[in-house]
Amino acid sequence: EAGVAQSPRYKIIEKRQSVAFWCNPISGHATLYWYQQILGQGPKLLIQFQNNGVVDDSQLPKDRFSAERLKGVDSTLKIQPAKLEDSAVYLCASRGPYEQYFGPGTRLTVT
């Protein structure tokens, strides 16, 4: 079966610009997660969707980050405007019976 797909793989932007990331989870997985992984740290949950509803967005900086999951399948994560501290890898994951399956991530560099 196909894994979790993410694009783009790399993105470089200047601070105050906007950026969007896309995720396509494993077919049939109802739960989708976005994590932020800053260099040298473990991933931290930003937002969790169950189908197209938000389950947990308590760690999402809502003044600049937004996310949606159209029709309960694909999801997009947007940052507007970006700050230097947003430089990180953004990982999308979908949930199987036990474990979460991760995509390859998008490495964002904000200059």
Partner 1 sequence: AQKITQTQPGMFVQEKEAVTLDCTYDTSDPSYGLFWYKQPSSGEMIFLIYQGSYDQQNATEGRYSLNFQKARKSANLVISASQLGDSAMYFCAMRVDNQGGKLIFGQGTELSVKP
Which residues are at the interface with partner 1 (CB under 8 A)? Answer: 31, 33, 35, 40-45, 48, 50, 55-56, 89, 91, 93, 95, 98-105, 107
From the list 26, 44, 28, the residue with the least C-alpha distance to 36 is 44
At closest approach, how far in Å is the CB of 91 from partner 1?
7
Question: From start to end of 14-74, where are the E strands?
Answer: 19-24, 31-37, 44-50, 53-56, 65-69
Cβ neighbours for 68, distance < 8 A, ≥ 6 positions apart: 52, 75, 76
At closest approach, how far in Å is the CB of 21 from partner 1?
14
Q: Please identify which residue in the block is written with the tokens 């189908």.
A: 51
In the complex with partner 1, the residue whose CB is nearer, 55 or 84, is 55
At closest approach, how far in Å is the CB of 111 from partner 1?
20
In the complex with partner 1, the residue whose CB is nearer, 17 or 31, is 31
* 43: preceding bond cis by omega (within 30 degrees): no
At closest approach, how far in Å is the CB of 7 from partner 1?
14
